[in-house]
């Protein structure tokens, strides 16, 4: 556990140009304090000291404003910037070199049991206020934009923005046309369009059946 501490400090210097000295980082970075408290809570959790683990995690939440469930699995060099308002659920798994900003929720939808929180790949950035909800994966090297609400799997090397979150960039290439914020896809309108098409098809079928057949009668 303690061997991670040095790399946790180095992660701050790699990600935060405002970090000045090791002394300052160790004593003033609440994200770092939350990660260290979590490493202790997680160790207790794995030894089945569930209540004590929860007490450590809740004390850390009180001090830092960051709530990490003791059961969550966190990789190397996680960097939590600012931190206030972050919630990380019990079955969440976070890879290496991940950056998480304030206000992020890595949670469940409230409908699942068992594994119900996301799995975050390596080298992922999750912007401030983003919500990643459910038991799916965020691929390596992906960026989740500020305030995105992600409800489904994200492949590697993608940028996801918006609510509901959608991929706007994959492997460095834009996906679809230029993002027009006034023309977001609307699934309800899409459904009505499909229904209208079907109604038009049925109408023309009925018209055809009404055509008079040889002998002057209409088909019934
Ligand atoms: C998403 C993000 C990581 C940028 O990733 P990127 O792959 O470089 O993506 P781009 O900047 O090329 O943006 C792609 C498109 O998404 C849009 N976009 C970017 N971030 C967005 C967001 N948070 N919400 C909505 N749209 C967003 C851009 O306007 C752009 O649209 P366009 O194609 O119409 O021009 C970045 O915008 C972001 O949100 N970072 C989080 C930073 C943060 O939380 N900082 C807090 C500091 S305290």
* Residue minimizing CA distance to atom 15 of ligand 1: 168
Assign 215 a pLDDT band (cuts: 50, 70, 90). Answer: low
Q: Is 146 in the pocket of ligand 1 (CB under 6 A)?
A: yes
Cβ(128) to ligand 1 under 6 A? yes
Report the sign of the C-alpha dihedral through residues 160, 125, 148, 131, in that order. positive
Sequence-distant (≥ 6) Cβ neighbours of residue 108 within 8 angstroms: 89, 91, 116, 117, 133, 134, 135
Question: How large is the average pLDDT for residues 21-49?
Answer: 96
In short, whether 162's Cβ falls inside 6 Å of ligand 1 is yes
pLDDT of residue 2: 65
178 and 191: one domain?
Answer: no
Distance from the alpha carbon of residue 150 to the mean position of ligand 1, in angstroms: 14
Is the domain of 94 the same as that of 192? no
Q: Does 159 contact ligand 1 (Cβ within 6 A)?
A: yes
- On whether both 143 and 217 belong to a single domain, the answer is no
- Of 116, 30, 127, 33, which Cα lies nearest the Cα of 72? 116
Res 110: pLDDT: 86
Domain shared by 32 and 53, yes or no: yes
CB 169 near ligand 1, within 6 Å: yes
Examine the domain organization and report whether 10 and 26 are in the same domain: yes
| Co-location of 150 and 203 in the same domain | no
- Do 190 and 178 belong together in one domain? no
CA pair distance 134, 92, nearest whole angstrom:
9
**191 lies in the same domain as 176:** no
Q: Tell me: the pLDDT tens digits for 159-188?
A: 999 999 999 999 999 886 555 555 556 778
User: Same structural domain for residues 120 and 144?
Assistant: yes
**Domain around 31:** 3-185
Consecutive H or E run containing 198: helix 187-210
d(CA 99, CA 97): 7
- Give the pLDDT confidence score for residue 111 in this predicted structure: 81
Question: What pLDDT band is residue 211 in, cutting at 50, 70 and 90?
Answer: confident
Q: How far is CA 179 from CA 128, 148, 167, in A?
A: 20, 14, 10
Whether 163 and 199 map to the same domain: the answer is: no
What is the pairing mode between strands 137-138 and 143-144? unpaired
Give pLDDT, residue 181. 58
Do residues 136 and 41 both lie within one domain?
yes
Kindly give the distance from the C-alpha atom of residue 143 to the centroid of ligand 1, in angstroms, as a whole number: 8
* pLDDT at res. 189: 81
Rounded to the nearest integer, the mean pLDDT of the chain is 91
Return the SS3 of 200: helix
Asked if residues 61 and 86 have their Cβ atoms less than 8 Å apart, the reply is no
Are the CB atoms for 97 and 77 separated by under 8 Å? yes
Tens-digit pLDDT profile for residues 96-151: 999 999 999 999 998 888 999 999 999 999 999 999 999 999 999 999 999 999 99
Q: How many domains does the chain have?
A: 2
Q: Is the same domain home to 132 and 40?
A: yes
């Amino acid at each position: 556990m303690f061997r991670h501490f040095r790399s946790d400090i180095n992660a701050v210097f790699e990600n935060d140009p405002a970090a000045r000295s090791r002394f300052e980082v160790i004593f003033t970075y609440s994200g770092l304090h939350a990660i260290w408290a979590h490493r202790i809570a997680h160790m207790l959790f794995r030894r089945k000291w569930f209540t004590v683990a929860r007490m450590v995690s809740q004390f850390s939440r009180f001090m830092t404003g960051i709530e990490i469930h003791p059961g969550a699995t966190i990789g190397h060099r996680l960097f939590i910037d600012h931190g206030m308002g972050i919630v990380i659920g019990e079955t969440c798994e976070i890879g290496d070199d991940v950056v998480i900003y304030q206000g992020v929720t890595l949670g469940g939808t409230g409908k699942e049991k068992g594994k119900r929180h996301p799995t975050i790949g390596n080298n992922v950035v999750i912007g401030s206020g983003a919500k990643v909800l459910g038991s799916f994966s965020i691929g390596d090297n992906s960026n989740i934009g500020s305030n995105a609400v992600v409800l489904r799997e994200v492949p590697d090397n993608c940028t996801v923005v918006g609510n509901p979150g959608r991929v706007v960039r994959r492997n460095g290439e834009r996906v679809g046309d230029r993002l027009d914020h006034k023309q977001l896809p609307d699934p309800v309108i899409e459904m009505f369009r499909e229904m209208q098409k079907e109604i038009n098809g049925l109408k023309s079928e009925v018209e055809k059946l009404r055509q008079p057949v040889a002998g002057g009668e209409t088909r019934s």
